[in-house]
Amino acid sequence: MAKLTCVSTGSEVTNQIGSVTFSCPSCGKIKITRSQYAREIAAQYKCSGCGFTGPN
Ligand SMILES: [Zn+2]
């Protein structure tokens, strides 16, 4: 099973409550994982595939 790490903080969020994984809203090809902490502080994320960045 692959470990999931938050794209904003780099912390491992595997099975962490409040973390989310979703497809990139721009290209839809890359799975983006964010920790609850990153969401709370509205940390910016960036898609590793297309370079899309967003707050949520
Ligand atoms: Zn993308």
CA 36, 52, 46, 54 torsion-angle sign: negative
Q: How far is ligand 1, taken at its centre, from the CA of residue 17, in Å?
A: 24
- CA 50–ligand 1 middle distance (angstroms): 4
13 CA from centroid of ligand 1 (Å): 20
Mean pLDDT of the chain: 92
Output the CA 18–ligand 1 centroid distance in Å: 22
Residue 33 lies in domain: 1-56
Residue type, 29: K
User: Domain count of the chain?
Assistant: 1
Flag whether pLDDT at 50 surpasses 80. yes
Q: Give just the sign of the alpha carbon dihedral 46, 1, 41, 8.
A: negative
Per-residue pLDDT band for 55 (boundaries 50, 70, 90) equals confident
State mean pLDDT over 30-42: 94
- Burial-class residue 12 by CB neighbours within 10 Å (0-12, 13-18, 19+): middle
Query: What is the structure's pLDDT at 1?
Result: 66
Rounded to 5 degrees, φ, ψ at 52 are: -65, 140
Binning pLDDT at 50, 70 and 90, where does residue 27 land? Answer: very high
Better-predicted residue by pLDDT, 56 or 30: 30
* C-alpha 4 – ligand 1 centre gap (Å): 17
